[in-house]
Amino acid sequence: MSGWTVPYVGFRQQYQEQQSDLLRTIDEVLTGGDLIMRQQMLDFETHVAEYVGTRYALGVSNCTDALHLSVRAAGLGAGDEVITVSHTFVATAAAIHHAGATPVLVDVGDDHNMDPDAFEAAITPRTRAVLPVHLNGRISDMRRIMEIAERHGLTVIEDAAQALGATFEGKGAGSFGVAGCFSFYPAKLLGALGDGGAVVTDSDEIRERVNLLRNHGRLPDGTIGEWSFNCRLDNVQAAILDVRLGWLDGWNRRRRAIAARYQAGLADLDALLLPPPPVEEGDYYDVFQNYEVEAEDRDALEAYLREQGVETMRPWGGKAIHQSPALGLSDTHLPRTDLLFDRVLMLPMFPELADEQVDYVVDRIHEFYR
Ligand SMILES: *Cc1c(COP(=O)(O)O)cnc(C)c1O
């Protein structure tokens, strides 16, 4: 057992609840001998595209590869600048870097997503694309980002790793740009039993390119069309994901209920900046991949919660991308992101979390600030 009164994730609990469905699914796949790119993966792709509201989805090995292949498929490379945020996983910028393009990092707003004004201010004659990240289950302000991108003729690729099921103005995360990328890492909204990812798109060209790039550049007749990679989604993972996709809306509703409970319990504390609360009517349907707050005395609060048996996390181990000198992007001046990383803390958030556990966290936080 983990030893935490309130752990950060609930993988064991999840497995207990799903054991018979998962074992039956794995048995079906193995009995059929269907291991690589078989019917189960095609079915899952159809269902993901339907779920997001795009024409196509392609299963890939993880979201890092989904991003990398999307950047390449969109024709971006050497000499091209791609604007993204620094408050994201290193994978977002790595995907741009490995395609040969240059990541340009901009600041976030109070919702912890890309600040559209900062995006517009960073555009240069070399800018070819923007890569907004829909962090913590909330879509970036895509009305403004799409408007700015269109005005400047920029390609839009979405990092929707944390946002499967989120909508903005009724449209699904991942369906705004030319490509949207999802992660099925176990702790994500829809988790595999290991790694997995997907690219969604309405574009025939992107679909064809990603399909080729994910499988060694092999054309349908087996000949090699270009140098490429192996970024396939394993069939057994696809089959598991297809079963779990049917449960996703229920899990996301539970995450929203937990967020509402944190909001009700913590809103009176001036020492905390909470994320925007879930709303029933409005532009944003947020799915709370994480519950990320900014807190005064963050280090002491974190230590107090640990003592009290509450497991918390700092995003990306506590460093934004421009704060990792090894990546060579440290000369970027991002005051809002710097402030955020001095204060940020993520509270436990997963569908199996009980109301009593949420209340326990809320009470300990009140105790700390008293
Ligand atoms: C998890 C994550 C990724 C990478 O996903 P993998 O499937 O682990 O490669 C990329 N971007 C963001 C914002 C993420 O949270």
pLDDT tens profile 148-197 = 999 999 999 999 999 999 999 999 999 999 999 999 999 999 999 999 99
- 37-62 average pLDDT score: 97
Ligand 1 pocket by C-beta < 6 Å: which residues?
62-64, 88-89, 91-92, 133, 159, 161-162, 183, 185, 195, 197
- Residue whose structure tokens are 């394993």: 234
Q: Are 198 and 214 in contact (CB under 8 A)?
A: no
CA dihedral 248, 249, 251, 255 (to 10 degrees): 130
The predicted structure's pLDDT at residue 3 = 87
- Distance in Å from the first CA to the final CA of the chain: 31
User: Angle CA(147)–CA(148)–CA(152) in degrees, nearest 5?
Assistant: 115
Q: What is the mean pLDDT of the chain?
A: 97
Task: Report the distance separating Cα 184 and Cα 351, nearest Å.
Answer: 16
Query: What is the per-residue pLDDT across 114-160, written as a single tens digit (0 to 9) for each?
Result: 999 999 999 999 999 999 999 999 999 999 999 999 999 999 999 99
Judge contact between 63 and 260, C-beta under 8 A: no
Quick one: which of 148, 154, 147 has its CA closest to 130? 154
Task: Indicate if the alpha-carbon torsion angle 178, 43, 133, 323 is positive or negative.
Answer: negative
Question: Cα–Cα distance between 105 and 82 in angstroms, integer?
Answer: 9
**Quick check: helix, strand or coil at residue 344?**
strand
Residue 340: pLDDT band with limits 50, 70, 90: very high
Would you say the C-alpha torsion 320, 67, 132, 246 has a positive or negative sign? negative
Measured in Å, residue 63 CA sits from the centre of ligand 1 at: 5
The count of residues in the chain is: 370
Q: Read off the amino acid at residue 149.
A: A
Pairwise CA distance, residues 182 & 53, whole Å: 14
- Is the model's pLDDT at 2 over the cut of 80? no
How remote is the CA of residue 185 from the centroid of ligand 1, in Å?
A: 7
Residue 1 has pLDDT above 70, yes or no: no
Q: If you measure from the C-alpha of residue 161 to the centroid of ligand 1, how many angstroms do you get, rounded to a whole number?
A: 5
The number of C-alpha atoms within 13 Å of 319 and in the hemisphere containing its C-beta is 11
User: Which tens digit of pLDDT belongs to each residue from 234-287?
Assistant: 999 999 999 999 999 999 999 999 999 999 999 999 999 999 999 999 999 999
Q: Which 3 state secondary structure label does DSSP give 363?
A: helix
| CA–CA gap between residue 160 and residue 174 (Å, rounded) | 6
What is d(CA 303, CA 346) in angstroms, rounded to the nearest whole number? 13
278 near 288, Cβ under 8 Å?
yes
For the segment 197-222, the average pLDDT, to the nearest whole number, is: 97
pLDDT number for residue 79: 97
Ligand 1 atom at shortest distance from the alpha carbon of 133:
13
pLDDT category at 308 given cuts 50, 70, 90 is very high
From the CA of 135, give the closest atom in ligand 1: 13
- Residue 221 Cα, ligand 1 centroid: separation in angstroms? 33
Pocket probe for ligand 1: among 164, 183, 190, 233, the residue whose CB has the most ligand atoms within 8 Å is 183
Share of the chain above pLDDT 90, in %: 99
Spatial distance between the Cα atoms of 173 and 162, rounded to a whole number of angstroms: 9
Rounded to whole angstroms, the Cα distance separating 199 from 130 reads: 16
In the predicted structure, residue 299 carries a pLDDT above the cut 80: yes
Kindly report the protein residue whose alpha carbon is nearest to atom 5 of ligand 1. Answer: 63
Region of 347 (left: φ > 0; alpha: ψ -120 to 50; beta: rest) is beta
pLDDT of res. 353? 97
Instruction: Give me the pLDDT at residue 206, please.
Output: 98
- Residues of the chain with pLDDT > 70, as a percent, come to 99
pLDDT in tens, 79-109: 999 999 999 999 999 999 999 999 999 999 9
| Cα of 267 from ligand 1 centre, angstroms | 30
